Amino acid sequence: MKDNADFVLLRDGLLAQFKPGTAIQTVAFEQIVVSSWRCKHAIRLEMKQLTPSFTTSEGAASDESGGQRDERVFQWFGASYQDLTQGISFLKALRAEGC
One domain for residues 67 and 28? no
One domain for residues 40 and 73? no
One domain for residues 83 and 46? no
How many domains, the chain? 2
One domain for residues 77 and 32? no
Show the domain range for 39: 1-54
Chain-centre distance for alpha carbon 32: 16
Question: Can you give the pLDDT of all 99 residues of the chain as single tens digits?
Answer: 778 898 999 999 999 999 999 999 999 999 999 999 998 888 888 877 777 765 554 544 444 445 555 555 555 455 566 666 777 787 788 778 775
Question: 3-class DSSP state for residue 61?
Answer: strand
One domain for residues 7 and 49? yes
One domain for residues 37 and 78? no
